[in-house]
Copies of this chain bind each other. A is one copy, B any other.
Amino acid sequence: MTPLAPDTLDRLRRISTPTLTTQLFKLGFRNTFLHGVRPLCPDRRMAGEAVTVRFAPAREDHAGYEVLADPSYPQRHAIEHIAPGQVLVMDCRGVASAANAGDILIARLEVRGAAGLVLDGGIRDYVSVQQFRFPVYALGPAAPAHVVRHVAVDENVPIGCAEVLVVPGDIMVGDSEGVVCIPRAVADTVATRGIEQEELERFILAKIKNGAPLPGTYPPSDATLAEFEAWKRRERPDAYL
């Protein structure tokens, strides 16, 4: 797997998902935001490498509480073997009415040092899980255990989550708005350009709040960009070291 620059994850964690989708769009990626997947703790940020679990529809001969005792059951195996800093992403086919994890499994993820959990399904014990302050992104609360609708069938394969492709090793970034999946090969580029875009947009927002008109300011004209560069040189000389 392509190695990442050492500070890429730290940078990505500071960039908002709107900025990330814009940078990805400029690189040609139109479908990277997991629509409908919402944070349980909107003020937490998350960035980490994806590992995946895939669920298929339940059938009476393939699902039930007894499968959960098998240590090789993909849902349990993936949690038990996650590495520190990784994000577990589950393909739940967009079914909001069943829960693919609850407080006990998420506590185990946290103990193992995982960076987060992302799924296009439900979460049970929702309020307790919110109190963990561990980054979880899901469709919402749902009481029934996953076995009423799903059976876990695969680990670490490319999946769809909220109709976005997630390949193991891709970088998942989450903030208060939701989750973006960044193809691993462009993660360094997106991190670098995203930081620049955010700085520029803070500058633009300040100008707008001071009464600047949209034309020439947003998007910035050459004059505005020059003004920004001068400001950066003045206010943030370290940015030029």
Select which of B38, B105, B218 is within 8 A of A104 by beta carbon. Answer: B218
| Count class of interface residues, chain A | 35 or more
Taken together as a complex, chains A and B put the C-alpha atoms of A38 and B213 apart, in Å, by 28
Between A and B, 12 residue pairs with Cβ closer than 8 Å are A21-B143, A22-B65, A25-B148, A26-B65, A29-B60, A32-B144, A59-B165, A69-B219, A104-B205, A142-B177, A143-B177, A154-B154
Closest Cβ–Cβ distance, residue A50 to chain B (whole Å): 13
Interface membership of A84, Cβ < 8 A: no
Q: Using Cβ atoms and an 8 Å threshold, which residues of chain B touch A163?
A: 57, 93
Which residue of chain B has the shortest Cβ distance to A210 in the bound complex? B111
A219 touches B68 (CB 8 A): yes
Select which of B111, B178, B204 is within 8 A of A141 by beta carbon. Answer: B178
Select which of B25, B32, B144, B211 is within 8 A of A111 by beta carbon. Answer: B211
With A56-B158, A79-B214, A213-B80 already in contact, the answer to whether A42 and B104 are too (CB < 8 A) is: no
Stretch at the interface among A121-129, A188-196, A233-241: A121-129
